[in-house]
Homo-oligomer: A and B are copies of this chain.
């Protein structure tokens, strides 16, 4: 039995997210499993490093699958390029030891969030960023990034219902770079709770517009109450850049 690791890039706009829902053809996982079925005849399940929400994009999602097929990796790559829709691209295939598991073995992830920060919207970035016409206090936004970094209980920054699992995570990098009208936020951490990046982003924007203060962030950490944090920003600005192993 071979264990194959795939790296996947996708434009999430047309999809209901990563995770297959029943027989739905509207998910990335479902699309890829269908192509593997055509390619090898096997009805198998691929294991993703984690879900991405409807509309969220990926430059480096990782998944793995176990197959009896003896097709070369190169032939598989060509098959994927030929039959997957153009907005899902398998960028790399790699043979892995049997024990490799793309979710359990993930040591961390990097996400990007893009904000189009000027009054005039963009015809091109509309599906790949959030339009924020207001001027932001970038000094404060940077201080808020610093405050969110480190090891904290992020339950207040997540859309989780009650859970017994730990909601403590470590964020090692949270930075923002200005590139013309685009604000490019980068998040690196050992793991992210459900909607955590989008809720942290909404909080950073609220600090930037003055709707929230830096102290309000401590409040969210202290109370762990979701409604004390900022709104969940739209999915179309979010990219899963890379999964670290």
Residues of B with C-beta under 8 A to A86: 121, 123, 126
Whether A81 pairs with B11 at a CB distance below 8 angstroms is no
Nearest-CB residue, chain B, relative to A239: B124
Query: Range of interface residues on chain A?
Result: 10 to 19
A10 at the B interface (CB under 8 A): yes
Whether B123 pairs with A9 at a CB distance below 8 angstroms is yes
CA–CA, A97 to B36, complex, Å?
63
Interface residues of A in 81-127 (CB under 8 A from B): 81, 86-89, 91, 120-124, 126
Residues of B with C-beta under 8 A to A120: 81, 89, 91
A18 at the B interface (CB under 8 A): no
CA–CA, A10 to B123, complex, Å?
5
Interface residues of A in 1-23 (CB under 8 A from B): 9-11
A128 at the B interface (CB under 8 A): yes
Nearest-CB residue, chain B, relative to A88: B123
Whether A128 pairs with B124 at a CB distance below 8 angstroms is yes
| A interface, over-half SS | loop
Interface residues of A in 114-167 (CB under 8 A from B): 120-124, 126, 128
Whether A123 pairs with B81 at a CB distance below 8 angstroms is no
Whether A87 pairs with B9 at a CB distance below 8 angstroms is no
How close is A32's CB to chain B, nearest CB, in angstroms? Answer: 13
Nearest-CB residue, chain B, relative to A12: B123
CA–CA, A120 to B8, complex, Å?
11
Count chain B CB atoms within 10 A of each CB in A10, A87, A88, A128 and give the residue with the most: A87
How close is A210's CB to chain B, nearest CB, in angstroms? Answer: 23
How close is A13's CB to chain B, nearest CB, in angstroms? Answer: 10
Residues of B with C-beta under 8 A to A121: 81, 86, 89
CA–CA, A148 to B182, complex, Å?
35
Whether A11 pairs with B89 at a CB distance below 8 angstroms is no
CA–CA, A88 to B120, complex, Å?
11
Quick one: which of B11, B122, B123, B126 contacts A124, CB cutoff 8 A?
B11
Quick one: which of B87, B122, B123, B126 contacts A123, CB cutoff 8 A?
B87
Residues of B with C-beta under 8 A to A126: 86-87
Residues in A lying within 8 Å of B, measured CB to CB: 9-11, 57, 81, 86-89, 91, 120-124, 126, 128
